[in-house]
Amino acid sequence: MPTDRFPETGEHPVLIVLHQERSSPGRVGQLLVEKGYRLDIRRPVLGDRLPSTLAEHAGAVVFGGPMSANDTDDFVKTEINWLDVPLREKRPLLGICLGAQMLVRQLGGKVQANADGSTEIGWYPLRPTEKGRLLMHWPKMVYHFHREGFDLPHGAELLAEGDTYPNQAFRYGGHAWGLQFHAELTRAMMHRWVVHGAHRFILPNAQQGREHLEGRMLFDAPLKAWLNEFLDIVFEGKTSKSVATSRAVLPA
């Protein structure tokens, strides 16, 4: 039976939804495992079915992919419709890039590219809103790889903004979260994206591969630290303040 209570760490697995055969949950998966969660990895694009309820899961993370939330493929429409399950049951839900855009579509918002065709491919500044600052401390630069952005759905709270695509992070209903940027990339994942995505570097506003890798050396450490605390907020209902307090009382 659906409940507002967050399950104890490790009691149920986190549902991981990926969109390519070789996709990985990256640092999100690594950090969740370190926190004591098991992972239930499914790829609907390859025929995996999504559960009819999340009663036996601690929540779900829907990752990015090369497709668009506006595509007419059956699996895209089915996955967008499925997002009603965690929303209705008030289970922790995190959408990253495509996952966030699918969540926006489920909530009635629009996903579309800028009229000038501008992209965010590389490292770009992030600005938390007042509500975002009350929640936690945010990194100043984040990594992107997308050509479309999204409207802020009705009833959602905007947590962070950007220059090219203004809506970068939002919360809906206290349980659902959407991120336009990527904090999950490991070093190996970024190298793979730079190699296989090099044809996109000619797009408007895209950065070149060397800028992706140089930016990682400068900006990745605070992004990883942010992700670690953010996952505690999403899956354990903690605030940044409560995380800091709990760490302060740990024995040395």
The residues annotated with a catalytic role in the active site are 97, 182, 184
Give the three-class secondary structure for 127.
strand
Give the three-class secondary structure for 106.
helix
Distance, CA of 109 to CA of 222 (rounded, Å): 31
- Judging by beta carbons within 10 Å of its beta carbon (0-12, 13-18, 19+), is residue 97 exposed, middle or buried? buried
Distance, CA of 6 to CA of 92 (rounded, Å): 8
138-147 per-residue burial string, b: 16 or more CB within 10 A, e: under 16: bbebbbbbbb
For 197, the token pair is 């995505």
List residues bridging with 220 in a β-sheet: none
Q: Which residues contact 182 (CB under 8 A, 6 or more apart)?
A: 64, 96, 97, 142, 143, 144, 145
Q: What is the Rg, in whole angstroms, of the alpha carbon atoms belonging to the chain?
A: 17
Q: Which residues contact 53 (CB under 8 A, 6 or more apart)?
A: 2, 85, 89
Distance, CA of 205 to CA of 208 (rounded, Å): 10
